[in-house]
Structure 1
Amino acid sequence: MEWTIHQVARATGTTSRTLRHYADIGLLAPSRVGANGYRYYDDAALRRYQRILLLRELGLGLAAIAGVLDERTDAVQALRAHAELLEQEAARLDRLAASVRETVRRTEQGEELDVTTSFEGFDASRYEEEVVQRWGREAHDDAQRTWRGLGEDGRAAHGAEADAIGRGLAAAAARGAAPGDEDVQELVRRHHAWVSLFWTPGAEQYRVLTATYVEDERFRATYEAYGPGTAQLLSDAAALFAERELA
């Protein structure tokens, strides 16, 4: 049995453009291309795509994923290894959740943070390779220096602003707001300013960045956690903002 590129995209929550990009870089080729130009994926291709998604969930960049897949290890053995890594990641997320709950408790009771427990589960280095590949080493290092320089209060304020923007966009999406609505554009303006604390993107850079909020499963999950349609509204509204305000 085979599936078209649109069926695979719909079933996996990705986009046809992402699948075509994976084919272009040699990461995931369709099993065949029909005379009509349609791309088809068989069972073997879907199994490979599942491994790609698993490795993406673990934070690996595309180049690293290609290296793992090219090792041609036994499929069952590889899946067992992936499962172990996912279990390790689940444990890390449990520590992260406990850390955040402890921060909430201390904040509500007016206590200072405990540096030995407040950052359990955080691992900023896991995305380093991907950030460097996409935006450059200088952008990564500048962002890291800025983040370290914010201090606890600055980092908390930055996180609170991200949460406020996400909640505002979710409420707008729930009532069916359009990307060009004034209140939506104001939220996007705040989002651009939030990003610009580390790096100020121009029109095309901002459009590409916010497009990943829909195309990348991790970003989409982050924004969709606020409510259905949040990621898409932000991406569409940001494209409009970039055209009007940044071009």
Structure 2
Amino acid sequence: MEWSIGEVAKRSGVTSRTLRHYESIGLLLPSSTGTNGYRYYDDAALVRLQRILLLRELGVGLAAIADALAGRGDDVAALETHLGWLNDERSRLTTQIGSVRATLAALRGKETLMPEQMFDGFDHTQYKDEVEERWGAKAYADGDTWWRGLGEEGKQGFLEEQTRIQDAFSAAQSAGLGPDSDEAQAATARQFDWVKAGWNGEAPSAEAFAGLGELYVADERFGRNYTRVHATGAEFVRDAMRVYSERNLA
């Protein structure tokens, strides 16, 4: 059985123009073309289109999609791979839901607002409508105001500084130094400034800063950023933050 390009466009939500573009770049060829020039697509073409759309949903570019499809002749195996990617995406969405719930709890005064948790797995541009629909516009706006206020360069710099701090902690631990060493404490001072920036310039108290360190160990969503090099990296950072709190914030 075959379906016309108009029928495929209607059922798939992909415009006829897009289908013709896919044809022009060799990504999706019609199974046949009528004497009137109408394009038709059979079952195999529809399966290929589904695979294309799945990959597009995951943010894969058309050139990469073409390479992926060229290397996967077995539709069942390919769809099983897609299913695995979709399960990963579901896990990311679950993380986002936890992040927004944590933000709501903080905004209601139950917990401390922490940007690391707010933006864990969260693409606030892509999922803005969904967040607002589920939890209300205010929850999204309040959590997003600080982040957007940074500007593109500020956002990039904030994330890059986090990575540099993680690397500094890992380097100190790799060198066999303790959490109270000058190197570890220098990294912790940068960590303090980084947290302060994320809290809209409000300096955390000794209790709050040390408590954040405890959270790195207690909650893997936080600690995984510090365990990429050393399995005990989160504990190392926690101890360094406790020392810093006792020395500088008490």
TM-score by length of 2: 0.49
Larger RCO of the pair (alpha carbons < 8 Å, separation 6+): 1
Larger-Rg structure: 2
- Could you tell me the TM-score, scaled by structure 1's length? 0.49
